Amino acid sequence: MNKTVNNLGEAISVLIQVAQLAQSKGVLSFDDAAITKSAIDFVNELSNTKENANNESEVTEIAE
């Protein structure tokens, strides 16, 4: 297992994993769990939007 974080994507991934673990163990209060879930959903949505934009630009480049 890699024990260093080398970019923003890896850092966000680690933080999301820790938040999900804390949620599953009941470490967070209900309000903390709700805001954490909201933040995770936001990051995932942003990531999916960026991936879709990258895929669309790759398709356009191939077609040209």
Any domain includes 2 = no
pLDDT recorded at residue 53: 73
Q: Which two tokens stand for residue 16?
A: 């999301």
Any domain includes 51 = yes
Give the structural domain span for 58: 8-63
The one-digit pLDDT tens for each residue of the chain (64 residues) are 668 888 888 888 888 888 888 888 989 888 888 888 888 888 888 888 876 777 666 555 555 5
Please tell me the total count of domains within the chain: 1
Any domain includes 3 = no
- Distance (Å, rounded) from C-alpha 16 to C-alpha 23? 10
Any domain includes 43 = yes
pLDDT recorded at residue 10: 85
Angle at which helix 30-63 crosses helix 8-24, to 10 degrees, equals 140
pLDDT recorded at residue 56: 65
Any domain includes 33 = yes
Any domain includes 1 = no
Query: pTM to 2 decimals?
Result: 0.57
pLDDT recorded at residue 6: 86
Any domain includes 28 = yes
